[in-house]
Amino acid sequence: MTAISKALGTAAFRLTLVYLLIFMIIAGAVIGYMFWRTNNLLTEQVMQTVGAEVKGLREQFSVGGVALLEQTVERRALRPGNNLYLLTNSQGVRLAGNLNRVPPRLVEKPSGGVFEYTRLGYEGAQRRMAVGSVLGVSGGALLIVARDIEDQRNFTSGSRRIFLWSFALLALVGVGGGVMISRHILARIEKVNETAQTIISGDFSGRIPITGADDELDRLSESLNRMLTRIEQLMSGLKEVSDNIAHDLKTPLSRMRNRVEGALREGGGEDDYREVLERTIEESDELIKTFNALLSIARLEAGAVGKSFQSVSLSDILRDVGELYEPLVDDGGMKLQLHVEDGVQILGDRQLLGQAMANLFENALKYGVSGGCPDKKGQSMIADISVKLDVVNSEARISVSDRGPGIPEGDRARALKRFVRLEDSRSQPGSGLGLSLVAAVARLHGGDVVLEDARPGLRVVLSFPIEDKSAHS
């Protein structure tokens, strides 16, 4: 199939033809009416002129009879112009005028009409058209007063040809324009199809080209590209999760199996069996927590819980979580500093927000003490955990800072992904899902998570759009 035939079969070409047809019908009706009306007005004007002249000649006849009428007609017939006259006696003999004979059409229709004529002295010339009327004179004389309309007919005929050629040209331009528009749109759509085929073949990096015209197709392409980017991220995340599950969960499962197999093989006492079973249960609980976290993240990214949002107080949630973790902070030899602005409201899920904040507290407790970074006296650094909630630029911002080893700038984006555990955290228990769950909760609530350098330590900044109270008023 050629490019032209493809263009002719597009919806854009069919719509162009439909609009062109509708336009031509309406334009033809309007121009036809104007043409008909103009022709009628010109004809009426000629008839009015003829009628006025007939009235004047009748007055001449009433004053001087046939003799004066003959002189008047002869005088007017000699004038140049489109006026036509013929005066005959009762026997039909021409007395005066510039017509060579009485038009048969006027004999049949004395009230007046259009007829063909040849001007006196031009018998071999081409016959012309005129419009006139017949006036009966007493004594059997006959007076014909008419006006040449050949120029008017030529104008009308020329206008008709121009009208038809214009319509033909309009149709040609319309069809050509439809083909060009269709080919342009078809080329843009083909780019979308090519990108779709690239995605179908497994290459999720394909994107639809943007022309820079900022038209509706560019805006659609930009939206589709954002969608493809999101799909690529999800597919990459799914692959990464699958790989991480295979690597990170295989080790504890193998360890559990080896421990149970060793206990059966060695055949120890009841206490040995109990110890093996207790450790197996502990590791099973950790695996269950990991799968529950994965399930929660999957549900959050799917937006399955986003419809139950209510107005909640971040201030109250953060205070409750801080109160819950303060004893643990004290037991770790650290001090918790909590600065919470009152009355910070957002639309969200209280349980999910509480879980996200609890994850941030646990991370600060787990990594806020850097046993591997001694001070100048060789002792471990034990620092404070600082938690702050305030409103900045219509956003509620929660920052949780510790004074641990922190995260290098190049690893901060990766640390928000699932199962990512940096080298410095390998010695700590965990599955690498804490920050990824926080990020998922933030995205669900229209917020964001940013990891910053606390100098020293790590600062996690969690931002949410605050509730628009005017929408409830």
Per-residue pLDDT at 316: 92
| Whether pLDDT at 380 is above 50 | no
Per-residue pLDDT at 375: 44
Per-residue pLDDT at 9: 60
Domains and CATH numbers, the chain: 3-155 (3.30.450), 307-472 (3.30.565.10)
Q: Pick the more confident residue, 81 or 300.
A: 81
Cα 240 to Cα 231: distance, rounded to the nearest angstrom: 14
Mean predicted confidence (pLDDT) in 435-442: 83
Per-residue pLDDT at 438: 85
The strand order across the sheet containing 113-117 reads 94-97, 83-88, 142-148, 128-136, 113-117
Mean predicted confidence (pLDDT) in 187-199: 83
With tokens 């926080």, the residue in question is 438
Could you tell me which residues come within 8 angstroms of residue 360 by beta carbon, excluding any fewer than 6 positions away? 398, 400, 438, 460, 462
Per-residue pLDDT at 418: 62
- Identity of the amino acid at 86: L
| Whether pLDDT at 147 is above 60 | yes
- Confidence class of residue 373 from pLDDT cuts 50, 70 and 90? very low
119 DSSP β-pair partners: 99
Report phi then psi at 10, rounded to 5: -85, 160
Sort 278 into a burial class: Cβ within 10 Å, 0-12 / 13-18 / 19+. exposed
Render the burial of 388-403: b for 16+ CB within 10 Å, e for the rest: bbeeeeeebbbbbbbb
